[in-house]
Amino acid sequence: MVGWLDNKNRVLNEWYGLFKQKNNINSNLAHKYWERVKTLGLPNIKKDNWKHTAFEEFLTYNFEFSKNFELNTPQYEKLSFPINAYRLTFINGIFSPELSDKNIDPWILKINRDPNRHDMTNPIQPDMFLYLTECLSDATIHINLPTKKITKKPLYLLYINGGSNVKNKLVTSHYHHHLQIGHDSNTCVIEHFISINNNGHFSGARMSMTTGNRSKLDHVKLIFENNASYHIAHNDINVGQSSNVNSSIFVILGPKFTSHRTSAQINHSGSSLSLQSLLFLSEQDIGNICTYLEHNNREYASSRQLHKIIACNYSTGVFNGLIKVNPDSIKTDGIMINNNLLLNKDAIIHSIPKLEIYSDDVKCSHGATIGHLDTNQLFYLSTRGIPKKDALKMLIYAFAIEIIGSLENAMLQDLVLTRINKALARIII
């Protein structure tokens, strides 16, 4: 326990040193956020959101900002997803104009490095890591789609992160992006996190999203960083009146440690929100998906959540979700489902879905399942002449396809399926 406390104090001191390097030393607001980091402190492993998430190894590292590295066009093309899209690229926390499209019309991009910039987007359900990202990010990137714009292709945000080859060092990169979708607009936004090398790094990410009235947003996040990395992220979603938002998170062949929180509010009538996630964990990976959804709608609004975890080897998966319906919210229709698949006896999955309902005129439910592959189905496929290896793949695909198939972009579906196929090739011999 003494070593745990010593590491916590050392890491907080290292992060404070990085905070001062960001030249936020004269910003009262930045200091207020750093005080929130200190007050909240590093996660208490006895609390609900973290008690099933082993955190000790993360605190044994030393943290540093990255040194700038050059990336040429052929390297970029090898790393990026070949999709027709508006492209913005970020390397180790810094926007790269050279590897980004010069013309992203109708999108409007603003890079805000004002020391007091952090006050512009209030968090819904903040935690310590959200405030840490505010303190250590290079800038707040405002990405705005004006009113009555229907984009013909998605906006593709590529985050390229690299680690240090120095033992026990984690290069840390932090991003805060604010996405504003105007009234009566329709678009798709893809976030793609990847690694430039096999060295360890720590990505802290915050994406805050606000949609105008009668708008539609499809948001897809692909966390495909290397297996020596750590990814801790927090998305905020504010849904406008009569708007539709779909947000999907995929972690496949990803970091050794992923903690992803999504906090959302539905404050208006006629709104709908869909939250989905698919985690494929192997080796000793740890994956934690946490959702907080608050219904404040005065008339009908709906929310749907579907979260799936596939765990094999010695990996640990955690789902922790809460739907909260406040007293003045009526005619709320909310469903939260968590389905989990264990591929062997050493893998562990914890599921903690919760409801807090303070209104009578609602229809809300939650459910969770944890199980293994059906041996009867495997036997049936074998009687049809299908080899066991292929039968296993078919059943795992069948488990995952519900979420993958909901993606409207066929190329995105293929990308995720290819990633799953690579994961299966590693675990099924």
**57 shares its domain with 162:** yes
**359 shares its domain with 419:** no
**Domain boundary at 323, 356, 372, which?**
372
Q: Which range has the worst mean pLDDT, 20-29, 132-141, 221-230?
A: 20-29
Residue 262 pLDDT greater than 60, yes or no: yes
In percent, the amount of the chain with pLDDT more than 70 equals 95
**342 shares its domain with 225:** yes
**319 shares its domain with 399:** no
**183 shares its domain with 50:** yes
Higher pLDDT, 204 or 164: 204
Band of residue 47 on the pLDDT scale cut at 50, 70, 90 = low
Q: Which range has the worst mean pLDDT, 44-48, 143-147, 276-280, 375-379?
A: 44-48
Band of residue 263 on the pLDDT scale cut at 50, 70, 90 = very high
State the pLDDT at residue 2: 45
State the pLDDT at residue 428: 75
Using alpha carbons, select from 264, 326, 325, 221 the residue that is nearest to residue 123.
264
**291 shares its domain with 384:** no
**Domain boundary at 372, 388, 416, which?**
372
**336 shares its domain with 422:** no
- What's the structural domain count of the chain? 2
**299 shares its domain with 160:** yes
How many whole angstroms separate alpha carbon 282 and alpha carbon 156? 27
Given a contact cutoff of 8 angstroms between Cβ atoms, the answer to whether 173 and 66 are in contact is yes
**268 shares its domain with 407:** no
Given a contact cutoff of 8 angstroms between Cβ atoms, the answer to whether 354 and 324 are in contact is no
Collapsed DSSP state (helix, strand, coil) of residue 118: helix
How many whole angstroms separate alpha carbon 187 and alpha carbon 147? 12
**364 shares its domain with 387:** no
Range of the domain at 383: 375-429
**131 shares its domain with 271:** yes
Using alpha carbons, select from 261, 364, 252 the residue that is nearest to residue 318.
261
**361 shares its domain with 391:** no
